[in-house]
Structure 1
Amino acid sequence: MTQPRLHHVPCLDSRGLHRMAYWEWGDPANPRVLVCVHGLSRQGRDFDTLARDLCDSYRVVCPDVVGRGRSDRLGDPMGYAIPAYVADMVTLLARLGTEQVDWVGTSMGGLIGLALASLPGPAPNPVRRLVLNDVGPTIQAAALQRIGTYLGQPAHWPTLDAAADALWAISQGFGPHTRAQWLELTRPQLLPADGPDGAPGFKPHYDPAIAVSFRAITPEIAAAGEAMLWQSYDRLTCPTLVLRGAESDLLSPETAQAMTQRGPRAQLVEFAGVGHAPMLVQPEQRAAVRSFLLGP
């Protein structure tokens, strides 16, 4: 089975430098580049199945956003924020040596792509086509409350299967997956770690401190952020596709419909039996992304 190449790029933060890891698929000389960015507590290997689908057409690059996966952790937890992630992605694009990319972003990765694609010139914007996977400018408070119940909580699992079961319990919104598919999604989510009793096992791959800035969001901050995101969305000029799990608790039907009527007037595709967020593993989900990215 085809496997990606792991690279790192140094990025600037408030206390110095950190390394951001990224996974690369396909021909590194291919000028056609697709960047795929994951959700809040996930990592770049979430896109393995999609990347295998598209690496004949693209050089596919899947970063581990700082604090996740193989990337460094920050000394200042308040650095875990969208503007800082966007700055890291600008650094990544410079490393890739490309002036234009297509972008697939799930949840947080979609917000990073939205912010990047809305940046004004005079330099040309690097985002050619944008896929927002189950996210938009308005985020439902219930979803944030649900995520807050587990984000950053201490966890240790004795086996891969135990970890897979525990992660599935908080990931029902991802929709149906076979056990093999779920284990493939679970393995990169884990780091080897001894438990409190010294027994070997696994812990989550991400810095628990990413929860600090998440929990610092007040209703006032959320309202201001929503207004800014709508302003960013209305500035978009690139073709945009919105994917929505029909049972999503994060992207409401009303917000998704509004996204088809303002700004770039996005295309909207919904997937039945899925909540937040489609993992782009199932054939119909990958087909929707492929058709949008490679179509006329």
Structure 2
Amino acid sequence: MSTHVRETWIRSEGLNLRCVEWGDIAAPAIVALHGLRSFAHTWEPVALPLADRYRFIALDQRGRGHSDWDPQRRYFTEHYLRDLQALVDELRLDRFILLGHSMGGATAFVHAAANPQRLHGLVIEDMGPGASASSAGAERIRRELQATPDRFAGWAEAQAFWRAQRPGVSEAALSARVRHSMKADADGSVVWRHDAAGIAAARLAATPQQLVDLWPHVDALTVPTLLLRGACSDFLARDTAQAMAQRNPCIRLAEVADASHYVHDDNLPGFEAPLHAFLADLDVAARPRRLP
């Protein structure tokens, strides 16, 4: 298992965006896109067991992690798609496997439907049509964004906040979330590493067009797709997930027990089992060509 981590940078729409990589640079690539308030290192426990066979690339999406904040607050799918294309172009990826959670899953659906020739496969974690607009989970996230403090008195208070927000998350995932999504300010308080105000403003004011109707993209998929739903998710309804798999035979649905919307944080072994089986079935043995 390769645990060596590399940091690379790409540029998109005037922003410097950080990529975190595990594994051999010549191995088949997996590109991973995190959710609304997450960060590249959320994928570390998923990446490490795969790093002996894959080049696992996780993006700190604009406004998150160590990537630049967008002064224009362009935190919408059309801009995330441009960032993903910049990553593909700058890292010179030919074909790859695309993995996305929640917000990252929306980007992944749209990219996969438009670029099937570039993908070996698609993995979606708890995202589907209508989830961002009208689900109970979407309403919960809107309440959380409105009620999130700008800063905390110290690390213990910050950790308690995240524990209240994510009661089912593992201790390891909670520790990573505090470490990678927050930082100490000069006055000793703890503040957000991501653009909390800008991301909240964009999300709360998003139009239906900016949230994107995913049904046309789901219906258009022609690549092998694994849809992972948390059995306790309030975001992706079971009926919607089942309808997605029924409407498009390219989609394989797996429900992960004891997991909410934050599937790999809540039940990593339950997430890994169907993921590793799907990757084995793809059998991406040939090393990818670099684009000229």
Q: Same fold (TM over 0.5)?
A: yes
| Between 110-119 and 263-272, the greater mean CA deviation after superposition | 263-272
Sort the Cα spacing of 1:180 and 1:211 in 2 relative to 1 into closer, same or farther, 3 A.
Answer: closer
Match of 2:232 in 1: 247
Match of 2:114 in 1: 119
Sort the Cα spacing of 1:3 and 1:186 in 2 relative to 1 into closer, same or farther, 3 A.
Answer: farther
- Give the 5 Å matches for 1:206-217: 206-207=194-195, 208-217=197-206
Q: Which secondary structure state, in structure 2, belongs to the residue aligned with residue 232 of structure 1? A: helix
8 Å CA contact retained: 1:244, 1:269: yes
Q: How far apart, in 2, do the equivalents of 1:264 and 1:149 lie?
A: 36
Q: Which secondary structure state, in structure 1, belongs to the residue aligned with residue 246 of structure 2? A: coil
Tell me the TM-score normalised to structure 2 length.
0.88
8 Å CA contact retained: 1:64, 1:71: yes
Q: How far apart, in 1, do the equivalents of 2:176 and 2:39 lie?
A: 13
Q: From 18, 21, 41, give the equivalent of 1:21.
A: 18
Match of 1:294 in 2: 280
Match of 1:201 in 2: 189
Unpaired runs of 5+ in structure 2?
A: 283-292
Q: From 264, 269, 283, give the equivalent of 2:254.
A: 269
Match of 1:236 in 2: 221
Sort the Cα spacing of 1:43 and 1:264 in 2 relative to 1 into closer, same or farther, 3 A.
Answer: farther
Tell me the TM-score normalised to structure 1 length.
0.87
Sort the Cα spacing of 1:289 and 1:80 in 2 relative to 1 into closer, same or farther, 3 A.
Answer: same
Matched, 1:43 2:44: no
- The aligned amino acid for 1:8 is W
Match of 2:8 in 1: 7
Q: Which secondary structure state, in structure 1, belongs to the residue aligned with residue 189 of structure 2? A: strand
**Percent identity between the two aligned chains:** 31
- The aligned amino acid for 2:137 is A
Q: Which secondary structure state, in structure 2, belongs to the residue aligned with residue 90 of structure 1? A: helix
Q: Which secondary structure state, in structure 2, belongs to the residue aligned with residue 117 of structure 1? A: helix
1:128-156 superposed Cα distances (whole Å, 9 cap, x missing partner): 21111001122143222211122273332
Matched, 1:85 2:86: no
Structure with the higher helix share, 1 or 2: 2
- The aligned amino acid for 1:160 is W
Q: Which secondary structure state, in structure 2, belongs to the residue aligned with residue 20 of structure 1? A: strand
Kindly report the root-mean-square deviation, in angstroms, between the aligned alpha carbons of the 2 structures.
Answer: 2.0
Q: How far apart, in 2, do the equivalents of 1:186 and 1:98 lie?
A: 32
8 Å CA contact retained: 1:41, 1:68: yes
Sort the Cα spacing of 1:4 and 1:264 in 2 relative to 1 into closer, same or farther, 3 A.
Answer: farther
8 Å CA contact retained: 1:106, 1:134: yes
8 Å CA contact retained: 1:259, 1:265: no
Q: CA deviation at 1:293?
A: 1.5
Q: CA deviation at 1:264?
A: 4.3
Q: CA deviation at 1:202?
A: 1.9
Match of 1:62 in 2: 58
Q: How far apart, in 2, do the equivalents of 1:185 and 1:75 lie?
A: 24
- Could you list the runs of 4 or more consecutive aligned residues of structure 1 that deviate by over 6 angstroms after TM superposition? none
Q: CA deviation at 1:176?
A: 4.6
- The aligned amino acid for 2:56 is V
